[in-house]
Chains A and B, each alone.
Chain A
Amino acid sequence: MEASVLRAKNLTKRYRQGETWIEALKGFTYDFPPGVTAVVGPSGSGKTTLLNLLAGFDTPSEGEVHLAGHPLHALGEDERAGVRLAHAGFVFQSWNLLPTLTALENVAFPLLLKGVPRRERTERAQALLAEVGLERRAGHFPNQLSGGEQQRVAIARALALDPLVLFADEPTGNLDSAAGSRVLELLVRQAQGERRVVLVTHDPEVAARAERILRLKDGALVEIQERP
């Protein structure tokens, strides 16, 4: 059997709030297949907590997460950062880009962290910007770009190191519908080969583009809906 790329087992997260403990995620178990998987649910259902744990931003109270074969639940912060750099890409709702870097430099940033030589970095970043249709905006700073353009730069950056998993958290949340559908289109297109795209959203129209939908409620996985 092929080793799974992104797998969670009995994933549980508890937070202390004053005197009481809140269970934000309860025993989430799932092995993400290739393609686009949407995680939906009302606010407070545990979507963000799940993404935090899957990406290794946070550690679970119980359970396991394996990303590209690495047991994130058992690794330290810096080791998790290393795994993220090598195998994961991120697109957040907003405020994705480093404001003092140009679009090109933002896309090249993960390559810088990885220690890729400068020339190679620039070439790869240029190619990625072309892929998202922004080759003409390479020298622009984030505040000179529209929201949609910023998200496309973020997608290009997420793809810089050809990750196995692409995490997107409400990527169209701050965009008008035209820009939003273009960004969504671009994201869905990235689910090629072994790559998994995990799309966290509360928007049913966005979720409708996924191959399967995981529905969370009160921290528990209540439904897995496969789409044709």
Chain B
Amino acid sequence: METFLLVARNLKARPVRSLLTLLGIVVATASMVLFLSFGEGLRKALSAEMTKFGPQIRVVAEGTGTFGVPNPELGPEVLRTLKAHADELGIARLFPAAVMMKGSGFDPATTFLFYGLPEGITPKDLAPAAKVVAGRLDPHPDGAVVGKQKAEQSRLTLGKTLRLSRKIALPIVGIVDAGSGFANSFIFVPMEVVQRALNTTNYSVVLIYVKEGYAADEVAEKIEALIPGVDAQSTTEAVKYAERAIRIGDVIRFGISLIALVVGGLLVANTVMMSVYERIREFGVMRAIGARRGFIFRLVLLEALLLALSGGALGVAAGIAGSQVVNVYTTHAVGLALSAVTPRLVLFSLLVAVSLGLVAGVIPARVASRISVIEALGRI
């Protein structure tokens, strides 16, 4: 306890230097927390999305990315085959949809994703938790129902007209809260309208509810075996796929934040080393009185650890604050809180901070503990 006091007093004796070092670690840790919070946020958002999304399988043309916008390449025979084999495949329900994207694709405010639903299908069949905010839920026969997020982003209100092509335009008849970030950025319209705009009778996607007792993964595999040229993507597979991508992102982000961490570590090492050189005489007195090497070693190491740990804790707090700010922005922009500081991220960051302190403290601690008494006291 007194050792701790001794360390704290020493840090307090040089307040500006200690504070600056602390600030360095705070920035390094905060940036790491923030960087890595994106991965955690994506994971959380994704699994939340998946539970909000009703159908467990989406069938698209081969070559469509897991989260890509599918082209209308599925012919009516695909739907016919699926319907014919529904029972043996374990399909409870299925319906097709035609999807069309208009706009830049980069800026969410000017990108419009028209989701064409067949007669008798409403946004509720896509996202079971969907609720009407204004107007009605069903876009049929000739209206558009806009996801809440999309409506806010592009300032769409009831009665406004949306143009799908030069000849085709629809009035907005409803605003819906689909309860999911993805579905909330869709504009639901009758499927026939999208097909007309794209000049096709094909579908972009067939959405499937699996019968109880059947595993979506297995059903998807059977579908791919039955119909050549299609991808049957199950939500669990999508999550796995996304997890892989997120993990790669994690490694890259950690790599970037490592630079900040190394700089922070060097800062601690420099501060502690300077403080060791300034206190050589002090260590000499301690050794003369009878302090063993280990005592001095621990004293210096503890100083580095204390700096790293308190800087780490403050950094985590700053990272959490930063993550909240990021979320305000991303929630507004894409309807998803993309950043999340999970307990395991907090633990990981503190662990990194502590290891940083240990590594940064070892050399100064070793130097301090090896100073000879007569040299330290200037007694040669």
Point out residues on A near B: beta carbons under 8 Å.
Answer: 15, 48, 51-52, 55, 57-58, 77-78, 81-82, 84-86, 88, 90, 92, 95-101, 105, 109-110, 112-114, 118, 157
Contact = CB atoms under 8 A, between A and B. Distances in A.
A88 B373 CA distance: 15
B285 A98 contact: yes
Interface of B: 1-2, 6, 9-10, 12-13, 281-282, 285-295, 372-374, 377, 379-380
Given A77-B293, A113-B295, A55 B288 contact: yes
B289 A110 contact: yes
Given A57-B373, A95-B281, A109 B289 contact: yes
B290 A113 contact: yes
Given A52-B379, A57-B374, A57-B377, A85 B289 contact: yes
B289 A100 contact: no
A49 to B, nearest CB: 9
Contacts of A88: 290
Contacts of A114: 290
Contacts of B380: 15
B9 A101 contact: yes
Contact of A92 (B290, B294, B377): B377
Nearest to A57: B373
Residue among B1, B2, B10, B13 having the largest count of chain A Cβ atoms under 10 Å: B2
A110 B372 CA distance: 19
Nearest to A100: B9
A154 to B, nearest CB: 9
- Which 6 pairs, one residue from A and one from B, show the smallest C-beta to C-beta distance? A85-B290, A100-B9, A57-B373, A84-B290, A78-B292, A57-B374
Contacts of B291: 81, 85, 113
A170 B377 CA distance: 14
A90 B286 CA distance: 11
Contact of B289 (A84, A99, A118): A84
B270 to A, nearest CB: 20
Contact of B287 (A48, A81, A105): A81
B84 to A, nearest CB: 84
Nearest to B283: A98
A112 B2 CA distance: 8
B282 A99 contact: yes
11 contacts: A57-B379, A81-B293, A82-B292, A84-B288, A86-B290, A92-B288, A95-B285, A97-B285, A100-B9, A118-B1, A118-B2
A58 B288 CA distance: 11
A226 B287 CA distance: 33
Nearest to B290: A85
Contact of B285 (A48, A86, A96): A96
Contacts of B289: 84-85, 90, 109-110, 113, 157
Contact of B293 (A78, A84, A86, A100): A78
A81 B292 contact: yes
B279 to A, nearest CB: 9
B282 A98 contact: yes
